[in-house]
Amino acid sequence: MSEWKKYKLGELVQTNKKSIDSNYPFEEIEYLDTGSITRGKIESFQKYKLSEAPSRAKRLVVQDDIIYSTVRPIQRHYGFIDNPLSNLVVSTGFATITCEKDKLNPKFLYYLLSNDDTVEYLDVIAEASTSAYPSLRPSDIENLEITIPELPEQKAIASILSSLDNKIDLLHRQNATLEKMAETLFRQWFIEDAKEEWEIAKMESLISIGSGKGLKKESFIENGLYPILGANGEIGRTNEFIFDEKLIYTGRVGTLGNIFRIENEKVWLSDNTLVIKPLGFFNFIYFTLKNSHLEDYDVGSTQPLIRQSDIKEIEVVLPPIEILKEFESIANKVFQKIKSNQTQIRTLTALRDTLLPKLMSGEIRVL
């Protein structure tokens, strides 16, 4: 690493370079807050008239900027700006980081800042802050000491890691498309083309249903073997599991309406979930639940709540068994491909996570 050089990050970047001012040309904005992006994955933008936007909707970004939440860095609310909308505005809860591109490759810096060692270091600084909650100042980011290679090696490192991320993203998008195709077929066969003479049954005759189980805080382990699943998906990891079978789950309390399937994987389902085990025709039940709008069954007074008894009462239009069998066969092939892609995603993610610290430290060289 003799040719790697040490800098303070502030020598190579500008933070919070531009904010909305009186010359801002748009009357409507696409707004991104800190809670809507995690590990570079954007969940959603919010649309606002500029005059009605939150007070934090101020930061402006350009191509290749990095956004990094200054609150609790360990939550990893950061991202890389690629092809931004012209009226994109981000929260002042982000530090926006603009690289001097003749010295520092932006994508390289993004991977450096998302490396666990960097995140944990910045989190220690945030925890020591005197504000009401753990937070960073822009100067904390600017004072970060980094050791980096020359620009060509930075670009080579960024290219390797980006190619892995792009492949992972492609597989995720392919899986979403495959499931959408299966759901479109379901809707066509069993909703749009449903026949009046088909049998009506209640969901309780087609499933068994129960609740997940609470897990003590000390059983949450950062790199645990198995996922802990809640109403919104994974909420942590643990070395314990309570299910290892094919099942469906949904939110019981808090967030309602999300429907998830598990294909014979060891998991812990939290006590804010309902666990549904179809007695047959798994894919048909899965898509029936997805199209049942469970969020409309909310009976909670202080927070959203759905009861097992309400799901049991859902009426299901049952087609002839031959049609069900044909749909199951087609859907099984689709989900087999999805599962194969998920295996690839896990492999590529593990490879990226192994390479990232080694490339950033110079342990592995690419030029």
Residue-wise pLDDT tens digits, 284-304 = 999 999 999 999 999 988 889
C-alpha distances in angstroms, 341 versus 186, 248, 353? 22, 20, 18
Give the per-residue pLDDT at 101.
97
Give the per-residue pLDDT at 133.
83
| Strands 94-99 and 78-80, sheet pairing | unpaired
The residue whose two tokens read 């807050």 is 33
Rounded CA-CA distance 272/338 in Å is: 27
Residue 178 CB contacts under 8 Å (≥ 6 apart), including other chains: 334, 335, 337, 338
pLDDT digits 0-9 by tens, 229-274: 999 889 999 999 999 999 999 999 988 999 999 998 999 999 999 9
Phi, psi values for residue 2, rounded to 5°: -60, -30
Architecture of domain 5-147: Alpha-Beta Complex (3.90)
Assigned fold of 169-344: Adenine-n6-DNA-methyltransferase TaqI; Chain A, domain 2 (3.90.220)
Per the CB < 8 A criterion, the answer to whether 237 and 222 are in contact is: yes
Percent of residues in the chain assigned helix, strand, coil, to nearest 5: 40, 30, 35
* Domain 169-344 in the same topology as domain 5-147: yes
Residues in the chain predicted with pLDDT less than 70, given as ranges, are 1-2
Rounded CA-CA distance 179/51 in Å is: 39
Rounded CA-CA distance 59/191 in Å is: 46
Name which of 115, 113, 136, 132 is nearest 124 in CA terms: 136
Residue extents of the structural domains in the chain: 5-147, 169-344
